[in-house]
Amino acid sequence: MQSENINIDDAVLVEQCRQGDSEAMERLILKYQNRIYNVILKICANADDAAELTQETFVKVIENIDKFEGRSGFYTWAFRIAVNLTLNYCQRSGRLGLKSLDAEDNGQARQQLKEFLNDDSSPDPAAVAANKELCEIVIASLMKLNDAQRTVLVLRDIEDMNYAQIAEVLDIELGTVRSRLSRARSNLRGIMEAILQ
């Protein structure tokens, strides 16, 4: 029920944007900028690039809002723009997010782990250390996947998009989403097992 309200709200905001209402566009940007930034960051693994690509995404959204036909949700349409920009950028620059947690550019991931470690609500330091180690292994493993597999995994397992949304965002067939996700999960599992041995 709540997602229907979100979609209706988005549709109203999009219509207001088309009529030149800059506050409506600002509301859409504020609503989705963090999620889009996080997806981009998980694909390209560079905070500065992710911030730039997020801005570029919303510039394209603003420029093309009149072309948005409403066949999908605004969220899906904006994510498609973001993912396409990011994958194109990664291919052009040769940056496929293959950085470890020790890389200088991955400060945000380290900061999140640091905040997690400084969380006083965790009663067991051994559990905190184990969680930190597991988090590092997962992030390092995720960064070793190719861009197509990492993207589908991020969209499904982190962003919680359904298969139809992913197919639309990536402009691929539903069966391709399923097979790519299956391969990505299998490869991720293999990478993690190799690290843990």
The pLDDT tens digits of the residues spanning 56-113 come to 999 999 999 988 888 888 888 998 899 889 888 887 776 444 333 333 344 454 444 4
Question: How far apart, in whole angstroms, are the C-alpha atoms of residue 194 and residue 97?
Answer: 20
Q: Whole-prediction pTM value? A: 0.64
Name which of 158, 170, 165, 159 is nearest 88 in CA terms.
Answer: 170
**CATH number of the domain residue 60 falls in:** 1.10.1740.10
Tell me which residues of the chain have a pLDDT lower than 70.
Answer: 1-8, 94-135
- Both tokens of 120, joined, read 């006083």
Q: Which domain holds residue 54?
A: 1-96
140 CB neighbour count, 10 Å cutoff: 19
**Does residue 149 fall inside a structural domain?**
no
- Both tokens of 74, joined, read 């605004």
Please give the tally of structural domains in the chain.
1
- Both tokens of 94, joined, read 């040769």
**Does residue 147 fall inside a structural domain?**
no
**Does residue 35 fall inside a structural domain?**
yes
